[in-house]
Each structure stands twice: as structure tokens, then as C-alpha cells.
Structure 1
Amino acid sequence: MSVPLDLIPAPHDASSLTLVDQLVQWARRRIEERVFRPGMRMPSIRTLALEKGVSRFTVVEAYERLVAQGYLDSRRGSGFYVRERAVSQLPGERRALTEAAPAPSTIDVVWLLRNMLHSSTRPEKGPGLGYLPSRWLDGDLITGALRTLGRQSGAQMLGFGTPQGFLPLRQQLQTRLEELEIGASPDQIVMVSGITQAIDLIARIYVQPGDAVIVGDPAWFQMFGRFASQGARLVGMPYTPDGPDLDALEQLIRTWHPKMLVINSVLQNPTGTSLTAAQAFRILRLAEEHDFIVVEDDIYGDLCPAGYAATRVASLDQLKRVIYLGSFSKTLAANLRVGFIACAPEVANAITDQKMLVGMTTPELNERVLYKILTEGHYRRHVERLRARLDGVRDKAVRMLEKAGMKVFFAPGAGMFLWADTGVDADVFAAAGHEDGFLLTPGSLFSPNQSPTTWMRFNVANCTDPALSVFLCRYLDSVARRAS
């Protein structure tokens, strides 16, 4: 992989910069963007010299300057490593909300969150992205709903809205939940601005410093930081190709006495696994026996076709101790930001109060748009088309990854994610992908302790670019040749 130095960002008068200056700027930018993350080993002097087409002396001089500036550490006989730096040393950085004791200090999701937006306009270059490409979605559903609302009196848009959210939408969601065999009255449903806000509200209400929260290992990375900011002790539950390792879960429960378990029951991110009825029943039994809350995130549920082998814990529990979360950001638009929480009546009251304290009501305009989409009859057909498109690329993505030499953890029959063992350091692999124009998500982001790993998540909808297959094969072949 070769990245010409003329592609390295430089000040207005790039011609005045030496090759060393350009290389220093290139490395600093990638460190500040968390492409090269704290503790990561930088490319060897020989490797970087070959990739950039410069002398080894140039690389040595650049690395030494970066050491002097506090960006790198030099370890004799081992190489150069990205230094863990104070927030004030990184221009524009903010300390991650993950340092409240006793939370682990290594949780860091800034790298992916920053770079997601960099690749949002070119999803084919973002196999690590967590959403579907915009060309797969139906903007007419949203614009049509907006036109309908635009013909109505604007007076109804001038108030604050209701604390729990737009009532007709909650009534519509009641019907949708009934189809999943989950009983919830409108008073048991609270509208929120997506799953992220739902997790935030739940953490604020239920989690105290020192409380244990069991999460998947691997699992959705963004919730780690939210729970950790409350001082939670995050405990990782391992996964097998059949789903969560429930024997391990039971041992973790007996050891840590958790306050709650957070789980994707359907098409789990990133493994793609789903709960069987037996697994869901056992989780519920453990929750009742050990008195903890189950937070069930079903954000990918609409991508699961009828008849697919998947069971929601809330359908067994009927919201007694399960708090059920849903959203439409994956199927309609990432920035629509309309999600909901379904739960016991007293929990709904507490969440509504906390929601008002934190940010008042959620935008009723967005909720009215979603209501129009759900009630005009086009959403179901839209989701069916999404499922069909995913079915059309999933097996191809599996074959592409296997051709490159990776091992796929589990090949689901629905959904958008594959979890694959690359056989190499995934952080370094992701950095190499960034240089080649691809956003890859290293598996360390999906672990509550961010342990180094060889695993990566791939979004099958964004794995259709032939250049991606070429890059994956080339990189893994080059690593194998160097190892031999």
C-alpha cells in the first residue's frame, strides 16, 4: 500500500514543507483523528519508507520529531508507539465520558464516531459503517410525509408537545408491538431521540457508581461510554455462533450481581446472532432469580423477516422487568432520530420525568413524520425491499471475506452485519484501510475493555465495491508474506 506524500494534508504553501514536515503532519493528523490510537505500534521505519516512497532517514527524523512533540514513545528494540496524551495536548479533543471511576479508562469510541461522517457520502468505502447506504433508503417516504404535514395548520407545531411523545404515534406503536406479542398501552411507551438517548435516560435512572452492567463482548460500542460515565463497572458477556454464552453469563451474574443486562435479542450487532426461545427464557429466568433489569435493544428487528428464528425477551416477560427499545434510524434515515421505550407503567413515568429534566420533549415534527409514514401503508413494503437487497449481497460478502482469508463468525440469514476474524491486528488493519480510503471498524471498539483483537465488523450493504476485495486480499497477503 503506497500513499504519495502529495496526498498528505499540508498548509496553504505545501511547497515550503520538507518531506519530514509533511510526514509529521500526516502522522499528527491521524493520531488526532484516532486512526492511530493510543498504544498502537506505528508502522516500522522500513515499511513506512517503502509506503511513502521516502528514505528511512526521513522516517526516522519524522518519528523523532513526533517523540519530541509528545505524540509518540520510542521503545528500544520494539519501535515507536502512539503516546497516551492529556486532553489539553490534543487540539480540539474532548475527554471521553468514560473516565468516571471505577469504569475502565480505555473505552474510546471517538475514532469511529469522527470517521463515520467522513465516509457518509461514499458508503461503498465504508464497510465498517453501521447504517445502510442512502441509495437503499426511500427519501420519498419522508418528503411525502413532510408535504402532507405542510398542508396542515402550522399552529399545531408551535407548542412543546407532550412529555411522552405524540399520542397517535404511541398508539400506532402499540399495534406494532402487539404483532411482536408484546403488550404495551400508549402510557407504557415513551418517545425518545433514538436508542442513544434511551440508553442515556436508563443509565441516569438506574445506574450508580460501582454498579455492574453486563453487556455483550462484542456489542454496540456507543453504550459502553454512556454507562461508564455513570461510574458503572462494565462486564463483558462472551458470544458463540449460537448466540450469547449463557453458561458464562450465569457465572458472571453470580460473580458480579449486576444491576442490568443490555442485549440485542434480534440480529445482534456485530455478530448477527439472534436469541432462540430457550435462550430468551433462560435469560428471563436468571433476571428473575437474581433480580436485575433486562434492557432489550431491538433496533434491527424490522430487518428480521416473519418466521425467522428469533425471540424477544419482552414477549415472554410482557415488560415486567424488561425495558424494550426500538428505533427507525436503520430503516428510514439515520438523522430522523425517532425511537421509543416500552416498559412497565412506573418505569415509563420515571423515564418521562428524566427525559423532561434532561431535554424537555422530543421534536413532535419528527414524530408526526414517522406517524404518517407508518400509517400510509408504504413502510412495510419498503422494509421488505431492504431485506431483499440485504439477502442479495450477504452471501457475496461472506465469500469475499473468506476469499481474503478471513473466518466469518456466523453467517446469519438476515440483517446487515458480519463478524469476521482477520487473523491480524484489527487496529493496524483499520489504519491501513483508512490510508486506502476504506473505513473499517476494528473489533476492539466492540469490547467493553477495548482489548486488542483480530476481529472486525463488516456491513454487507457496503461491501460491494470490487476495490474493497482487492484491498483486503492485498493487505492480508502482504502481512502473511512478511510473517513468513
Structure 2
Amino acid sequence: MSVPLTQIPTPHDTTSLTLVEQLVQWARRRIEERVFRPGMRMPSIRKLALDKGISRFTVVEAYERLVAQGYLESRRGSGFYVRERLGAVPTAEIRTIAAAAPAPATIDVVWLLRNMLHTGARPERSPGLGYLPGRWLDGDLITNALRTLGRQSGAQMLGIGTPQGFLPLRQQLQTRLEELEIGASPDQIVMVSGITQAIDLISRIYVKPGDAVIVGDPAWFQMFGRFASQGARLVGMPYTPDGPDLDALESLVETWRPKMLVINSVLQNPTGTSLTAAQAFRILRLAEAYDFIVVEDDIYGDLCPPSYPGTRLASLDQLKRVIYLGSFSKTLAPNLRVGFIASAPEVATAVSDQKMLVGMTSPELNERVLYKILTEGHYRRHVERLRARLDGVREKSVRMLEKTGMKLFLTPAAGMFLWADTGVDASALAAAGHEEGFLLTPGSLFSPLQSPTTWMRFNIANCGDPELSTFLCRYLDSVARRAS
């Protein structure tokens, strides 16, 4: 795979550097940010010199310096390739058991996470982000809750908290779960610092080296590394526009006898699909027949209108075999970091004990803030406004992507994501977008195999910049011209 070409840094960035040093700096920065990833082929000396208007000698000298510094390797007769450097931030190694690719693959989530931080201040140029833009959220909900807490006695903030979390908040969550027809007492609810910690705790308790864990293919990429660190063998479950391919799932569980299935039941990331009641029943029957745990991640549930046709597994199972996860990072603030696990009593006890071993308690201040927000009556109206704003941009984003020639997996009636077939190598498109100042999310990140793919996820709340459409059309047209 070749990396895309861009201009060398502008003179005001590199006034004291030679052309060779500028080119080295340009390449190093993109390698360190993992825009250019290990194994990618650099442009040929002739092509890079031509595109940048510099001499071949300059390119040769820059490439040789990059080889000496450990950033590139030279392969006789083939060219220069990005090298996996010792001492670089390690990628998470995934043990995969897909029959077609039994060898371990490498999943690199550092590239996206690092660049999310770099471009988070400009969400309008970040259609690859997994969060809503800050201008859509309501900071007053949080500041008002903090002011209320500030007027209370400070003595209550001096304790260490409890492993299960702030009790009044767990009681409030019991009421919210009842609205979803999920029965859970406060003792069955454990507060955590977001879905990521929830997955971490569950994997530590239940997943042993060699255990098979079924995840979506595609699915939320950050959990792949967590399960891999426990020695799990990840098995990808394919998706159709109607939801998970349950015939394929049945074949997978027959073959691999998994320990666990992890699934978004509503507004799946990244496809936007939701389970029907029939699909949910079939998944639970398989779980019972083959004795595996179902982890239901409902992080997008509040973006789903009450009338939306989606079924929670926990509402059918009542937490006998299903472990239900929820969070408020998508609707309130990404850095609030308050989530929860609802489960059978014995599971909640195990999670609470594991939480103490890993980090004692979760921050009670955050939990008290969330409690104030949920009980002061403004959160529901806030969520309704978010749904309305998403509804207002969804069709526009669909038209923009289709205008570029992309084909959508489906057009969900709710949620924040669109899963689109770009028709080109999505990783190369993401790298080219980064050069233009856009954060795009290649579909390979959402696969437990990190297989090359033409698919890409788009956040409809961040697709409004007209320059995005211009860039996508220009890039896709250029690829089509080269292919013809």
C-alpha cells in the first residue's frame, strides 16, 4: 500500500531547515502520528521528487536518513517501507481464529486515538470522531450541577467512596432501567469510568487465555486490544443491513464454543443497525444452548427515540445471562467518564471486587454530578434536542456521501453514524484526509482482523464542512482516473 503525497512543510515552519531536513521532518511526523503505518510503501524516489518539485538526490538523501534513524527500511528492488520501530507506542496484538487467517494480526487503535486528540478542537473537520461536537452539548447542565454540589458541605467529598458507586445514582439508574423494562436493584448496578473500564473489568473476570470472544465485524475497535491482552481469540461476526448475520453467528458458536459475545443491540457502531425482537430471542437461545455470556453495550441507547424499533437483550433476559452496559459520554461530555454495569447479583459482586483490585473506586464527584443532572429534570429535554439535531443533518450527510459516489450500508432513522463503502482503500483515504486536515476513520480499525477495506465510518454531526465534500470528490475522482 502506498502512502499519499503532500507538500513539504511551509517555509514559516522550517525557516532554518534544508530541503532534505524538511522532507525528513515531514515523513517522521506522519510516521509518528501513524498516518503512515508500519508496512506501508513510501512513494518511489522519482514520483516523490516529481510531485514535490525537488531533486531525486534530495529524496534519496532524506530516505537514507530515515533508514538510519529507524523510520524506514529499504527493500532491494521494491523500494522503501515504513518500519515498525522498537520503542514506539506498541500496537495491540490480536490473536484471531478466523479460519481464513489463523495467524495473529495487529490492530492499531493508537492512530485514531492520538489524532482524535489532535483534531478534537475542530469537530467540523473530524467526521471520523465518535463523539458529538461540543457546540451540540449543554455545558450548563454540568456547571449547574457543580455549583449545586459546591454549596453543599465539603465533608461529603472527603471519603473514598464505595466500590459499587454512589448509591443515590444507582437508585436513579434503577428507575431508568425500569423504563427499558430491565429489572435491576441498586445492588445489581456497579458504576464505572465509562464503557472502556466496563469491558476491562469483565474481560479480567471472565476471559482466560485461549477463550473465544465473538465481536462484530465491524464493531467498536477499542475493545479488541482489551480482550487480546487477556489472551482471547477474537472471532468476527459479520453484519448485514438487517443486523448481525445470525446464521453466521450460529455457525461460529458451533465451531468455537465462545466464552462471550459482545454486541450493540441498538444503533450498532458503526453500521447503525438495531436488533429486532426475533433476532434478540435467537441470540439468547444460542447463548443458552452453547453457554456463553452476552455483553450488551447500550452506549447509544439515549440517542434512540422511545418509538424506535430496537430490542434490548437485557429486557428479554432480565440479566440472567446478559451483562448490560450503559454510559453518558455520548450525550453529556466525553470527559465526564461515568458509566455503569447492570448484571446478576453474583456478577455485580465479582465486578465490584475486581474494580477494587484495579482502582479502588470510581470518582464519586463525577457520579454526584451525573446524579444532579438526572434528577433535576433537564436531561430528557437535552437528549430530545440532540436527537432532533441529528435528524436535521442526517439526510444532508447521506446526500453528500452519495454525491461523492459512496454507497451506504443503510440509512438508519436514528443515531450518529453512517457506514459507507468508499470504493477505494479506506486507510489510504484516511491518510490523505489527514494531510488535508480531516480526521477520517478507516473501516479496517473496526475489524478484529484489521483487514484492508473500502468501508469507512462517518459521524453525521461532523460532516457539514463543504470542504469535506470537495476533498472526497477530488480524491475519489483522482483514484478513478488512475484506475481507468
- TM-score, normalized by the shorter chain, greater than 0.5: yes
1:395 Cα deviation from its structure 2 partner: 1.1
Deviation readout 1:79-121 (Å, 9 max, x if unpaired): 43222232x2x3xx3x235368999340221101111000111
Quote the residue 2:8 is aligned against. 5
Match status 1:400 vs 2:395 = no
> What pairs with 1:30-41 in structure 2 (closer than 5 Å)?
30-41=30-41
Quote the residue 1:291 is aligned against. 291
Distance 2:292 2:322 in 1: 9
Given the superposition, is the C-alpha separation of residues 251 and 39 from structure 1 closer, same or farther in structure 2, using an over 3 Å criterion? same
User: Are the equivalent residues in 2 in contact too, given 1:319–1:343 (CA < 8 A)?
Assistant: yes
> What pairs with 1:98-137 in structure 2 (closer than 5 Å)?
98=93, 104-137=104-137
User: Are the equivalent residues in 2 in contact too, given 1:104–1:228 (CA < 8 A)?
Assistant: no
TM-score, normalising length: structure 2: 0.95
Distance 1:477 1:61 in 2: 33
Quote the residue 1:210 is aligned against. 210
Letter in 2 for 1:187: D
1:405 Cα deviation from its structure 2 partner: 1.3
1:62 Cα deviation from its structure 2 partner: 2.3
Letter in 2 for 1:272: G
Match status 1:96 vs 2:103 = no
Letter in 1 for 2:386: L
Letter in 2 for 1:466: P
Distance 1:302 1:127 in 2: 21
Distance 2:444 2:380 in 1: 35
Letter in 1 for 2:470: V
Letter in 1 for 2:235: V
User: Are the equivalent residues in 1 in contact too, given 2:96–2:235 (CA < 8 A)?
Assistant: no
1:442 Cα deviation from its structure 2 partner: 0.7
Distance 1:8 1:155 in 2: 57
Match status 1:458 vs 2:458 = yes
Letter in 1 for 2:336: L
Secondary structure of the residue that 1:448 maps to in structure 2?
coil
Quote the residue 1:282 is aligned against. 282
Letter in 2 for 1:430: A
1:254 Cα deviation from its structure 2 partner: 0.8
User: Are the equivalent residues in 1 in contact too, given 2:94–2:448 (CA < 8 A)?
Assistant: no
Given the superposition, is the C-alpha separation of residues 382 and 43 from structure 1 closer, same or farther in structure 2, using an over 3 Å criterion? farther
Quote the residue 2:83 is aligned against. 83
User: Are the equivalent residues in 1 in contact too, given 2:440–2:458 (CA < 8 A)?
Assistant: yes
TM-score, normalising length: structure 1: 0.95
Quote the residue 1:306 is aligned against. 306
- Superposition CA RMSD, Å: 1.9
User: Which sits farther off after the overlay, 70-79 or 330-339?
Assistant: 70-79
1:406 Cα deviation from its structure 2 partner: 0.9
Secondary structure of the residue that 1:201 maps to in structure 2?
helix
1:72 Cα deviation from its structure 2 partner: 2.3
Match status 1:329 vs 2:332 = no
Letter in 2 for 1:173: L
User: Are the equivalent residues in 1 in contact too, given 2:125–2:437 (CA < 8 A)?
Assistant: yes
Given the superposition, is the C-alpha separation of residues 51 and 470 from structure 1 closer, same or farther in structure 2, using an over 3 Å criterion? farther
Distance 2:285 2:136 in 1: 40
Secondary structure of the residue that 1:162 maps to in structure 2?
coil
Letter in 2 for 1:96: T
Quote the residue 2:100 is aligned against. none
1:74 Cα deviation from its structure 2 partner: 3.6
The number of equivalent residue pairs is 476
Given the superposition, is the C-alpha separation of residues 444 and 181 from structure 1 closer, same or farther in structure 2, using an over 3 Å criterion? same
User: Are the equivalent residues in 1 in contact too, given 2:96–2:234 (CA < 8 A)?
Assistant: no
Distance 2:419 2:47 in 1: 29
Secondary structure of the residue that 1:458 maps to in structure 2?
strand
1:402 Cα deviation from its structure 2 partner: 1.0
Secondary structure of the residue that 2:93 maps to in structure 1?
coil
Match status 1:428 vs 2:428 = yes
Letter in 2 for 1:422: T
Secondary structure of the residue that 1:481 maps to in structure 2?
helix
User: Which sits farther off after the overlay, 207-216 or 73-82?
Assistant: 73-82
User: Which sits farther off after the overlay, 19-28 or 301-310?
Assistant: 19-28
User: Are the equivalent residues in 2 in contact too, given 1:220–1:446 (CA < 8 A)?
Assistant: yes
Quote the residue 1:226 is aligned against. 226
Distance 1:42 1:429 in 2: 15
Letter in 2 for 1:6: P
Distance 2:196 2:135 in 1: 24
Deviation readout 1:281-328 (Å, 9 max, x if unpaired): 110000000000000000000000011111111111000000000000
> What pairs with 1:191-210 in structure 2 (closer than 5 Å)?
191-210=191-210
Secondary structure of the residue that 2:107 maps to in structure 1?
coil
Distance 2:47 2:373 in 1: 53
Secondary structure of the residue that 1:340 maps to in structure 2?
strand
Given the superposition, is the C-alpha separation of residues 54 and 202 from structure 1 closer, same or farther in structure 2, using an over 3 Å criterion? same
Distance 2:483 2:195 in 1: 43
> What pairs with 1:314-393 in structure 2 (closer than 5 Å)?
314-393=314-393
Distance 2:113 2:461 in 1: 19
Secondary structure of the residue that 2:356 maps to in structure 1?
helix
Deviation readout 1:360-388 (Å, 9 max, x if unpaired): 11111100100110011100000000001
Given the superposition, is the C-alpha separation of residues 326 and 240 from structure 1 closer, same or farther in structure 2, using an over 3 Å criterion? same
Secondary structure of the residue that 1:310 maps to in structure 2?
coil
1:212 Cα deviation from its structure 2 partner: 0.3
User: Are the equivalent residues in 1 in contact too, given 2:5–2:43 (CA < 8 A)?
Assistant: no
Deviation readout 1:143-198 (Å, 9 max, x if unpaired): 00001111111111100111111111101101100111111011000000000000
User: Are the equivalent residues in 1 in contact too, given 2:94–2:233 (CA < 8 A)?
Assistant: no
Letter in 1 for 2:390: L
Distance 2:37 2:5 in 1: 21
Distance 1:45 1:304 in 2: 52
Deviation readout 1:436-464 (Å, 9 max, x if unpaired): 00011111111111111111111000000
Secondary structure of the residue that 1:5 maps to in structure 2?
coil
Secondary structure of the residue that 1:309 maps to in structure 2?
coil
Secondary structure of the residue that 2:106 maps to in structure 1?
coil
User: Are the equivalent residues in 2 in contact too, given 1:8–1:22 (CA < 8 A)?
Assistant: no
Quote the residue 2:176 is aligned against. 176
Unaligned runs of 5+ in 1: none
User: Are the equivalent residues in 1 in contact too, given 2:125–2:462 (CA < 8 A)?
Assistant: yes
Distance 1:211 1:106 in 2: 18
User: Are the equivalent residues in 2 in contact too, given 1:9–1:25 (CA < 8 A)?
Assistant: no
Given the superposition, is the C-alpha separation of residues 392 and 259 from structure 1 closer, same or farther in structure 2, using an over 3 Å criterion? same
Quote the residue 1:27 is aligned against. 27
